[in-house]
Each structure stands twice: as structure tokens, then as C-alpha cells.
Amino acid sequence: MNATHKVIFDTDPGVDDAMALYFALAHPNIDVVGITTVFGNVTVQQATENALYLVGIAGYKIPVAQGAPVPLSKAAGIPPGFIHGDDGLGNLKTRSTVKGRLEKYSAAEYIVAMARAHPGEITLVAAAPQTNLGLALKIEPDLPKLLKKVILMAGTVIEPGNVSPVAEANAWNDPDAADLVFTAGWDLTMVGLDVTHRVVLPCHFFDALAKKHNHLATTTLLHATDFYCSFYGMARPELGHACFAHDVLAFVYLVAPELFKIQEGCVRVATAGIANGQTMLDRHGKLSYPQPGWEPGRTPTRVCMQVDTDACIRLIESTLGSNWLRKPLIEE
């Protein structure tokens, strides 16, 4: 019997965040104890509304704490409505009113309170700009000792970036927070574009899922992924009507790390200039670089560099296809 992972999911839903959330709810070894939201794919208010909505229509009750509206110090950008829809879920035509409650704590306060209450037990899966984690570190510098581990969907090493030639969106959205997080000294794994660009999910995958379940949650996911796949159809025509799996792979790593090949080393993030948001992995390891910031002895990050694509897709399919959905919590 595999252990259950108690998880706080830090997210900016966002279509691939929605997929990731539903994978986490569906997987028998993941217990989502809380959700924290942040700006990114949409405003933080919209991200919160979406998190409450996605959870409620799937029939679950999970605490949601709203987080940062803007990066730590960089100027805020404009949410990419052309990728995720202006509402983050592919511009849903209608929404039911779901029962759900926002926590009184901010996301950073919530993460710290939960980590202090359950030391060594909670895994933080972050699939969004790392601003909430950066703020939580400022409140509680011992957070790396209090959390069990952190898994980030962020960054890229060899694969070209998706917002600049070298930067991935989550790292680029708040590079100062990302560099704080990569140098904080926790048990940290990076699931970046080097692997997420190897796992492509066709829209018919979500169509089959919606038909199988015939449930508001999976028809909502189909609507959102159809929009997302249309964006990728234009940006990356070679994919067809399909999208990258991105955020869900952070959860796949949590439950099936054997599907990934790892390289370990110190990761730093460029916080200014043309390389802003670039995640740089010291792949040499043995060289002692003289430059400040690369001193030996820094805590290494486990970086996912290769993935078993077919096994990942099979796991995502069997997990989301299982019997996990409940009666939607909708206001009558």
C-alpha cells in the first residue's frame, strides 16, 4: 500500500492547473488538504474563483486561501487570456453557483500555519509563479524544515523557453520569488519544460473522459482544454489539436518519480536583463565556480530532464478515468 501524500496545491487556474487539480483529487495516494492561489494565468481573484468552482463542481470541499496579486518586485504583466481564456477556463458560457468558502488567511499565512501544525508532513506542489512561497519564506525562514518537500512546475534547462528563448512562464512571472525558492534549502524537485514538452495530450483525450463520466467537472475540463488546444494548434501546429500536460506532471512526479530521469545541481534564476526568468542549473557539479551565487555546498535541486511519455499518459488516463467524481456542490 503506497503512502498518501498530504498536499497543498499552489496554483493559478488556468487550464493545465485544472487538469492537475483533477488528477490530484482523483489519485488515491494524494490528499489535497488545501489550495492556495496566485496571479499568473489570470488575476488572483479569478484564480480563486476558479479554484473554488473546480473543487465545488467535482463535489469536494477543500480550503482555498487567496495569495499574491502581483510579483514580489517585478511589475505585474497582463494575464494571457489568449492561452487560457479571459476567465482562465476557456471562457465558460455559464457557471453554476457552488458552495465553497475562502480561508481568512492569505496563501502565505495558510502555508506557514499548515506547515507549523503538521511539521514534516506536507508536500507543497506549486504550478504557478512562486510568489506565495517567497512570501511564506519571509514569514517563516524555517519553512524548508517544516515542509516535507516541494515540487515545482517551473523552469527549463535545455528545452527553449515558452515566454522568451530561455524563460518558462512561472519562473518569468516572478523571477525574484523563483530565485528565493530555488535557494531556500528544502527538498526540491523542478518539473520544467524539459519534460512537460515531451507529454502532449490530444483534445480527444478530454472528450473521451467527458463522455465516460458525463459530469459537470469533466465537461468543464473539456471546454477549457478545447480552448487551450486551439491556442496550441496556432502556436505549435505540429501538435495538432492538443496541448502540453505541464502542471499535471508535478503530481505525476509525486506519485511516480520512477517515470523521470533526474539531474541534480544548484539552480539559480536570472532576475534582470535579457535572460530574466532563466533557470540555470549547474550541470557540471564538480567544478568550483568562482562567481558569487555559485559557491559549493548549496542545496541541490532535483531537476527532471527526461520522462517516460507513454507511461505518464497511461497514468493520467487511468487516474482521471477512475471513479473519483462526487455530486457537485451547487447552490439550489
Give the binding site for ligand BDR (CB under 6 A). 14, 16-17, 41, 127-128, 153, 162, 168-170, 246-247
- Judged by CB under 5 A, the residue of 5, 9, 17, 161 near Ca ion is 17
Phi first, then psi, for residue 267 (nearest 5°) are -115, 130
| Closest separation in Å from C-beta 33 to ligand BDR | 21
Binding partner of residue 194 among ligand BDR, Ca ion, none, CB cut-off 5 to 8 Å per kind: none
Decide: 50 and 89 in contact? Cβ < 8 Å.
Answer: yes
- Residue 246 is a catalytic residue: yes
Q: Nearest-5° angle of CA 324, CA 330, CA 332? A: 145
Contact stretch for Ca ion (CB under 5 A) within 159-167, 230-238, 245-253, 271-279: 245-253
Q: Does 128 bind Ca ion (CB under 5 A)?
A: yes
Nearer to ligand BDR by Cβ, of 83 and 266: the residue is 83
Among Ca ion, ligand BDR, none, the one that 271 touches (CB under a kind-dependent 5 to 8 A) is none
User: Across the chain, which distance is largest between two alpha carbons, in Å?
Assistant: 65
Smaller CB distance to ligand BDR: residue 146 or 316?
316
- CA dist., res. 163 & res. 165, Å (int): 7
- How many residues make contact with Ca ion (CB under 5 A)? 6
Residues 250-289: b if buried by 16+ CB within 10 A, e if exposed: bbbbbbbeebbeebebbbbbbbeeebbbbbbbbeeeeeee
Catalytic residue of the set 10, 12, 194, 282: 12
Minimum gap (Å) between residue 196 Cβ and Ca ion: 11
Tell me: does residue 252 bind Ca ion (CB under 5 A): no
**Which three-class secondary structure state does DSSP give residue 79?**
coil
* CB of residue 170 to ligand BDR, shortest distance in Å: 5
118 is a catalytic site residue: no
Closest to ligand BDR by CB, 54 vs 128, is: 128
Cβ proximity to Ca ion, 266 vs 277, nearer residue = 277
| C-alpha 231 chain-centroid distance | 19
* Contacts of residue 41, Cβ cutoff 8 Å, sequence gap at least 6: 12, 13, 14, 15, 17, 47, 79, 80, 83, 84, 88, 128
Report the nearest approach of Ca ion to the CB of residue 38 (Å): 9
Tell me the sheet residues that pair with 253. none
Query: Shortest gap between Cβ of 83 and ligand BDR (angstroms)?
Result: 6
| Beta pairing partners, 185 | none
Give min distance, CB of 149 to ligand BDR, in A.
Answer: 19
213/246 with CB nearer ligand BDR: 246
* Candidates 84, 197, 213, 246; catalytic one: 246
Half-sphere exposure of 206 (CA within 13 A, CB side): 29
Which residue, 105 or 130, has its beta carbon nearer to ligand BDR?
Answer: 130
The span from the CA of 256 to the CA of 250, in Å, is 10
- Cα 85–chain centre separation: 18
CB contact set of 139 (below 8 Å; sequence gap of 6+):
108, 109, 112
Residue 162 binds: one of ligand BDR, Ca ion, none (C-beta under 5 to 8 A by kind): ligand BDR
Residues annotated as catalytic are 12, 246
Binding stretches for Ca ion (CB under 5 A): 12, 14, 17, 127-128, 247
